[in-house]
Structure 1
Amino acid sequence: MELQTLRNFIEIADHGSITAAARTLGISQPGLSRQLKDLEKELGVKLLVRGNRRVTLTEDGTYLLNRARELTAIAERTKNNLQSKHALGGDLYIGAGETSGKRLVLHVAQELRHQYPGLHVHVTYGSDEGLVANLEAGMYDFILRPGKQQTQYESLLLPVRDAWGILMTSDDPLTDNLLMTPMDIGDSELILPRATHARNTFEHWLGQGMDPAYIVGTYDLTVDALGMTAVGLGRALCLEYLATQSPNTSLTFRPLAPALADPVALVW
């Protein structure tokens, strides 16, 4: 999802017409329609209802429109700040855990760097607690963290969500299930993220606290969860977008049901 794609989506919503938006943007109507379909496919939701003359936003489309306006405003504000200081470059420090929101933010950073080749982007991994502490200490310009917008900081909810599921070996009997319910997980020996937020969210989803006897290990990075699962240490709770990118064909991922997905906030 690129910043220009979000700008184009805003134009469609403002005009109520793909044809009119394409005319304003100076691009072909088929090209803009294809771009919109690709965006819907990437997000896995329907953004517009197409009528005879106009298009109407769905609930998901309205949500994306609000977030898109905020994201493009941040990009424009950042550009203006750089211009007002007559700056040709600088350093942008971003702190993040493992989240799909990172890709969206880096697309924005890439566009800024295209305009300002002297801009250098630095991304550092950290735990949620460490990210907040370092933001307060001035070590980061922005951080990405799970959860709702934080009242003590300026923040923006991104139009992405981090979906959780269970990773297991491909010969695990539970791979027959396309979705994992609390009953399916039952007394599984689990490998859990070390992050407090993830643990608390999972226990709330389970409807009960985790028995420590069934927690066989913890991890900070998904690559370690992959390795621990591959050797048969247990089943791992991990993020879908990371687990499904693994080239390891001996592992299988199954989403949770009901779905468990964290909103992602950009905080500064």
Structure 2
Amino acid sequence: MLDLRVLHYFLTVAREESITHAAEALHLSQPTLSRQLRDMEEMLGKELMIRGPRRITLTEEGLFLKKRAEEILSLASHTEEELRSDDTELNGTIRIGSAESDSVRFLMHAAHDIQARYPHLHFHITSGDGQQMMELLDKSLIDMAVVYGHVDMDKYEVLPCPTVDRWGLLLRRDNPLSQKEKITPQDLWDEKLIVSNQVLQDDNQADRLRVWLKKPFADLHISATYNLAYNASLMVREGLGSCIMLEKIIRVPEDDDTLCFRLLDPPLSDRLLIAWKRFQLFPKGTQQFIQLLKQEKDALEPID
């Protein structure tokens, strides 16, 4: 059986790329550390690292174990934190995996409110696309995922954010389309486009964009894809194309002499979904935070 302590040793070696440096960081002798790693390799029947004259490199099996070890140790640490938490005062860490969106302000506002009451309650935010966040949620490496697109309602509890995000086009000011107030589908048929990789991989989101564009993706000039909006803005700035993205993710000042943002017409919008596992047993801090999110969402939505 894998020992958590030895997994920690292995990750330290993988990070340092040196048994000598890892031994110093772990306050172990080099022979002791080398023996622990050899014993683990013998137990698994796999060579995990190639010991070169200057640096350690991981084998394919070593890379696989590194990824799994990071997940295992993160989950073990969080479990220990939950068990050690003091029920007399809410504390611990609430782990959120989130897509990029201005609507995340809603969660941060609630986080500020609950932390003002319980200062020992902390938050850890991981950013990434929806597929990555749902994978982390399934592995219990985060408590909730904040994503766009379809979420399986049989597996997860879902709370829609109260605000709606609008799609638009980030483009250079020297592009003729910058003279328009809004961008129509026909405007993009001959445009070099930069499109979110998540949108292309999510069937529901891809279908919505295709319907709006009134053309299949194969008939368009998609010059690049992106996961992080900031990198996409650099692509636009350097002339790789114009980027279809959500409003307010990239702040473009009115006096920016290179970039501008124009909304799509007819409007195309999305709503963030906050998802967590059904029947999940959360620490009291996370329970309270979810309850607060529900209360604040109800308070923000108009009563019919």
Q: 1: distance between equivalents of 2:220 and 2:182?
A: 24
Q: 2: distance between equivalents of 1:236 and 1:149?
A: 26
**2:272 counterpart SS class:** strand
Structure 2 counterparts to residues 1-268 of structure 1, below 5 A: 85-147=87-149, 150-151=152-153, 152-195=155-198, 196-197=201-202, 198-211=205-218, 214-245=221-252, 248-268=256-276
The residue type paired with residue 162 of structure 1 is: D
Q: 1: distance between equivalents of 2:95 and 2:119?
A: 16
**2:216 counterpart SS class:** coil
Residues 109/245 of structure 1: CA separation in 2 closer, same or farther (3 Å cut): farther
Q: 2: distance between equivalents of 1:109 and 1:85?
A: 19
Please name the residue that 2:14 is paired with. Answer: none
Q: 2: distance between equivalents of 1:239 and 1:126?
A: 15
State the TM-score, normalizing by the size of structure 2. 0.57
The residue type paired with residue 96 of structure 1 is: S
The residue type paired with residue 227 of structure 1 is: L
State the TM-score, normalizing by the size of structure 1. 0.64
Residue 203 (structure 1) shift: 1.6
Q: 2: distance between equivalents of 1:115 and 1:103?
A: 19
Q: 1:76-102, CA deviations, whole angstroms, 9 ceiling, x for partnerless residues?
A: xxxxxxx99334311000000112221
Residue 172 (structure 1) shift: 0.8
Find runs of 4+ consecutive structure 1 residues off by over 4 angstroms: 245-248
**1:143 counterpart SS class:** strand
The residue type paired with residue 193 of structure 1 is: S
Q: 1:215-247, CA deviations, whole angstroms, 9 ceiling, x for partnerless residues?
A: 111111111111111111111111111134468
Q: 1: distance between equivalents of 2:252 and 2:97?
A: 22
**2:240 counterpart SS class:** coil
**2:183 counterpart SS class:** coil
The residue type paired with residue 202 of structure 1 is: L
Please identify the structure whose Cα radius of gyration is greater: 2
Residue 212 (structure 1) shift: 6.6
Identity of aligned residues (%): 30
The residue type paired with residue 239 of structure 1 is: L
Q: 1: distance between equivalents of 2:152 and 2:89?
A: 30
Q: 1: distance between equivalents of 2:195 and 2:115?
A: 37
The residue type paired with residue 228 of structure 2 is: L
Residues 249/122 of structure 1: CA separation in 2 closer, same or farther (3 Å cut): farther
Q: 2: distance between equivalents of 1:103 and 1:240?
A: 14
Aligned length: 186
Answer with 244-253 or 116-125: which moved more: 244-253
Query: Gaps spanning 5+ residues in structure 1: where?
Result: 1-82
Answer with 237-246 or 96-105: which moved more: 237-246
**2:266 counterpart SS class:** coil
**1:160 counterpart SS class:** coil
Please name the residue that 1:79 is paired with. Answer: none
Please name the residue that 2:287 is paired with. Answer: none
Query: Gaps spanning 5+ residues in structure 2: where?
Result: 1-84, 277-304
How large is the Cα RMSD of the aligned pairs? 2.1
Give yes or no for contact 1:101–1:144 (8 Å, CA) kept in 2: no
